[in-house]
Amino acid sequence: MNITGQLAILFGVCLAAQCIAALLPVAFPASVIGMLLLLGLLLLRGVRERHIDRVCGFLSDNMSFFFVAPCVGLLEHTDALLDCLVPFFVIAVVTTPIVYFATAWTIQLIMALRRKKGGKS
């Protein structure tokens, strides 16, 4: 499939996600909805990997360029960020081990469940 068609598929999924997010009664990020929609389409074979591989590869390879504008925006608000530096640091230090241990515990639980069912771990 050509690049224009691949972009159309990705933009269509993003547009559908934006519409779904606008219709939801609670705030939910359209980007997450879009990823879930794309995952569903790939699992149900509505979209095959070959239909989006070139554009997705390009976007993944050049992902760093998409972070330039947000970083410049952060630099413009350095004074406000410095006021919140200590709370940000405390949050990062406290939550990082929590996420690490929660992930490790989840993996151990899944491995134990697989062993219990007789599957391979």
Question: CA torsion sign, 19 to 20 to 21 to 22?
Answer: positive
Nearest-10 Cα torsion for 92, 93, 98, 100: 90
pLDDT tens for the chain, 121 residues long, are 799 999 999 999 999 999 999 999 999 999 999 999 999 999 998 999 999 999 999 999 999 988 898 889 888 988 888 888 899 999 999 999 999 999 999 999 999 999 998 755 4
* pLDDT value of position 81: 86
What per-residue confidence (pLDDT) applies to 113? 92
Looking at residue 117, what is its pLDDT?
A: 85
**Spans of all domains in the chain:** 1-61, 70-121
pLDDT at position 120: 58
Cα-based torsion angle of the residue sequence 36, 39, 40, 45 in order, rounded to the nearest 10 degrees:
160
Hey, how many other C-beta atoms are within 10 angstroms of the C-beta on 29?
10
Tokens of 65: 């360029």
Q: Which amino acid is at 15?
A: L
